[in-house]
Amino acid sequence: MRLSWSSASIPDSHGDVERAVIGGTICMIPCPAKAIVLIDGEHYPDVVTGALRSLASSYLVVGAVFLGGTEKIKGSDLEKEAEKLYGIPVLFGREPEAALGEGIRRWTPDCIVDLSDEPVLGYQQRFRLVSHALAANVAYLGSDFHFNPPRLERVAQAPSLSIIGTAKRVGKTALSGYVARRLQESLAGSPGQGVVVVAMGRGGPSVPEVVDGLDHALSSEELLEWSRQGRHAASDHFEDAALSRVTTIGCRRCGGGLAGQPFVSNVVEGVRLANGLAPAMLILEGSGASIPPVYTDARLCVAGANQPLDYVVGYLGLYRLLVSDAVVLAMAEEPLASRDKVKDLIDRMQRERPDMPVVPVVFRPRPLDDIQGRVVAFFCTAPGVQLPVLRRHLEEVHGCRVVLVSGNLADRRLLRKDLEAPQMDRVDTVLTEIKAAAVDVVVEEAACRDLPVVFVDNDPQEVPPGKVGDLNQVVADLAGLARERYRG
């Protein structure tokens, strides 16, 4: 990608700093920046040393990582001759990521400057190196690209856990609600607010707002009233408050970078608001593949087994894995994902992070009220291939009769057509998730028909090769880790 740069020097405690405005994002790089260069043997050494001289005005090159290739290298023992050839210390390694990691630990650079190219360094390998650099909080740049680690503000004044995702609709909000309930139960009787969830979304409020789900259950009538006032009453913070009975703070964000940095957000202000509630634990909820721009003590990543493999363990999905402490692999069932694909994903994630627990789960609808014997219409955002499974679960486990099921909450045109279906005349209860057009379309229509609305949560259930209890253990471990890191 070609970037438009505007730069100026400003004073900083570390000396001059180059400020680059990239698509509205301000990137702070010390000038001269301490840099590691990536080099290869497809370039003649004198070409590389010439490039190093050209970098000298902006970068203090402290070392190099040799990525491979020997076509342009004349000597027989490159590792012995490398420092003499290039004039700087050079690291070698079978695995470029390991060599880069060693270089970062040894030289603590501000950035990585990529002087390599095809055929030694292709697209996939380059994204792997970018992910590892960003995970070490080091910028990565080349001739026409520049990746910065997301800027995370340290503002939380309580132990904190963020829940991030590799995409939209992978179950972050359902997991966030589940985690909030488990932790709220464990904190029962403790002083203070207990758990506070800070959620950011593309429909969040312009000023962070508190929604109290702790004192009473939010009703469909309340959400509808807020919707009629012009608020997005199906935003994640309303969903969390209504379904999990915790205090939530709603925030907004616009845009999302490849590494998850929102272009604009008010999440920092939201966390400051949360601090005033004296929470025992803060949960920060990501939006889509965007990461809350606030430092948290622990991090849970939610990935979808239905996603392409490279979206999870390649590109900058790998970055999200590298900076997380545990993974929930959602939608780990056919026809969304085969058993072989689920196993392959788990294997590949654990190759990247052997120490990290991965819990495969599926989601099943759980109405908040008793619907035994009811004739219902169910509205959700699930993929079409999953709707028969959800219908069967509602009928077999909750004892209702489902005459209409729609996965079109995120498509208002199709949703309105579903609401006009003749089956709606037989319905005595409307079931809906709190997402997308749930309130302003579905609850509004239910009110017009004088039908009661029952909100539906999505409970995670472990599936093989996981086992029952794995998720609760991960939640407890993450909470303990967050407290330990916060104290220490």
Least confident of 25-29, 71-75, 420-424, 429-433: 25-29
Q: Which amino acid is at 188?
A: A
Backbone φ and ψ for 395, nearest 5 degrees, come out as -70, -45
Q: Which amino acid is at 329?
A: L
The pLDDT assigned to 69 comes to 84
**pTM (2 d.p.):** 0.89
Nearest 5°: the CA angle 198, 441, 424 is 130
Contact of 232 with 203, CB cutoff 8 Å = yes
Task: Find how far residue 278's CA is from the centre of its chain.
Answer: 26
Contact of 301 with 312, CB cutoff 8 Å = no
Strand-pairing partners, residue 430, are: 377, 453
Distance (Å, rounded) from C-alpha 281 to C-alpha 267? 16
In the predicted model, what is the mean pLDDT of residues 66-76?
75
The pLDDT assigned to 231 comes to 86
In the predicted model, what is the mean pLDDT of residues 475-485?
97
pLDDT band of residue 477 (cuts 50, 70, 90) is very high
Is residue 77's pLDDT more than 80?
A: no
pLDDT digits (tens, 9 = 90+) for 189-206: 565 679 999 999 998 999
Q: Which domains does the chain have, with CATH numbers?
A: 7-147 (3.40.50.1980), 160-364+463-487 (3.40.50.300), 365-458 (3.40.50.2300)
Is residue 97's pLDDT more than 60?
A: yes
- How many Å from the N-terminal Cα to the C-terminal Cα in the chain? 41
Task: Report DSSP state, residue 44.
Answer: -
Q: Which amino acid is at 217?
A: A
Give the residue among 327, 261, 323 at the shortest CA–CA distance from 288: 261
The pLDDT assigned to 189 comes to 58
Mention every residue, 6+ apart, whose C-beta is less than 8 A from residue 313: 321, 345, 348, 349, 352
pLDDT band of residue 10 (cuts 50, 70, 90) is very low
Distance (Å, rounded) from C-alpha 298 to C-alpha 300? 7
Helix axis angle, 236-244 to 220-228, nearest 10°:
160
The pLDDT assigned to 82 comes to 86
Backbone φ and ψ for 57, nearest 5 degrees, come out as -75, -25
Contact of 290 with 183, CB cutoff 8 Å = no
pLDDT band of residue 26 (cuts 50, 70, 90) is very low
